[in-house]
Amino acid sequence: MLSRRDKLYTGIALIIFLGLLGILNNTLSGYHMRLINLIGINIILVVSLNLTNGFCGVFSLGHAGFMAVGAYVSAILALPLTKKALVLPELPTWLGSIEVNFLLSLIIGGLVAAFFALLIGYPVLRLSGHYLAVATLGFLIIIQVLITQLSHITRGARGINGLISYTNVWWVWGTVIVTIYAVWRIVNSSYGRGMLAIREDDLAAESLGINLTSHKLLAFCVGAFFAGVGGALWGHLITVVNPLSFDSNRTFNLVVMSVVGGMGSITGGVIGATLMTIVPELLRNLEVGITIFGMSIPPLYGLSQIILAGALILVIFFRPHGLVGNWEFNWNFLKKSKNISKTTQNL
């Protein structure tokens, strides 16, 4: 629970941050704003992934599947009727004849994703460790197959394009704030403590009255909800969704962000998502051909990934639990100077 002082600081920080976003939105180029939006979307995805993988210790590889569900549901719902008739003529009439506003489509997208999480989670969450990882990966592949095959609803491999680019900095960062708030509330409640207990020792947790299934399901469904919303935001940013957009690589990518930042921490999720969105873009600048002493070296495409891989190994080598581990951001550093050493030590 936050003290009054902490609430004040948080409020001020939020206002400053939103103001800054507003300023940036009017000054930065579209390219840079897009990066800021992608950072936000990745934060939504990674923080929600941390709820299952980090806090609850349920290692899921299905996150991209929930993204896919959210993205498709929201895409189909929010597509303007005129376009819908053109792009998705085979939709069942009830679906073909509704157009939902963006906010509602985000929420429904998230809810449908959460519903899928409930369906798959109920049987699968009794598995543990890598067995669960494989089962959730299987879910991701099943979703991909369904999207590819149910082409009268999803247009199959062609994907749905021409989505309206609703997604902007306010939608993204508004959702980021909601996501972080919700996850933070959950983590700091009996539900979150139950999840932590399950992560530490599920047998002891069960012997202390914690219902394993309901806690795991809660983490899984809430994670899936935000994954669905994140997927929907992503779809309306890129303006096209297809089955390949949500493959195992995307899941792995999210897992990397989560582990690099620190799985058991919201702060870690934010840091991991931010870094792993920006750094690859920055590394692009290395893929330039250069001329040294008259010898011209062509640009080496793939170099940025190689450097990124090397950097990842180094990060993990020095910080096996991610950059911040389980540490959570707090305002203590503002208190008194003698506390500073304490916070950095926790780092």
- Of 147-176, binders to other proteins (CB under 8 A) are 148-149, 156-159, 161-162, 165
Does 128 sit near other proteins (CB under 8 A)? Answer: yes
- Footprint of other proteins on residues 56-85 (CB under 8 A)? 59
Q: Which amino acid is at 86?
A: L
- What 8-state DSSP symbol labels residue 60? -
Does 210 sit near other proteins (CB under 8 A)? Answer: yes
Q: How far is the CB of 74 from other proteins (least distance, A)?
A: 16
End-to-end CA, the chain: 21
DSSP result, 262-329: -TT-HHHHHHHHHHHHHHHHHHGGG---EEETTEEEPP-TTHHHHHHHHHHHHHHHH-TT-SSTT---
Does 212 sit near other proteins (CB under 8 A)? Answer: yes
Give 257's contacts (C-beta < 8 A, 6+ positions apart). 42, 45, 46, 269, 272, 273, 275, 276
Give 310's contacts (C-beta < 8 A, 6+ positions apart). none
Q: How far is the CB of 307 from other proteins (least distance, A)?
A: 9
- Footprint of other proteins on residues 226-255 (CB under 8 A)? 234, 237-240, 242-245, 248-249, 252, 255
Q: How far is the CB of 35 from other proteins (least distance, A)?
A: 7
- Footprint of other proteins on residues 89-118 (CB under 8 A)? none
C-alpha distances in Å from residue 165, one per residue of 39, 236, 239, 240: 17, 5, 6, 10
Judged by CB under 8 A, the residue of 36, 49, 218, 323 near other proteins is 218
Q: How far is the CB of 27 from other proteins (least distance, A)?
A: 13
Q: How far is the CB of 208 from other proteins (least distance, A)?
A: 5
- Nearer residue to other proteins within complex by CB, 19 or 213: 213
Does 330 sit near other proteins (CB under 8 A)? Answer: no
Name the nearest CA neighbour of 273 among 10, 31, 47: 47
Q: How far is the CB of 316 from other proteins (least distance, A)?
A: 5
- Footprint of other proteins on residues 296-325 (CB under 8 A)? 298-306, 308-310, 312-313, 316-317, 320-321
Judged by CB under 8 A, the residue of 259, 273, 276, 324 near other proteins is 259
- Nearer residue to other proteins within complex by CB, 113 or 163: 163
For residue 341, count CB atoms less than 10 angstroms from its CB and return exposed for 0-12, middle for 13-18, buried for 19 or more: exposed
DSSP result, 79-104: S-HHHHHHH-TTS-HHHHT----HHH
Judged by CB under 8 A, the residue of 191, 225, 226, 327 near other proteins is 191
- Nearer residue to other proteins within complex by CB, 305 or 344: 305
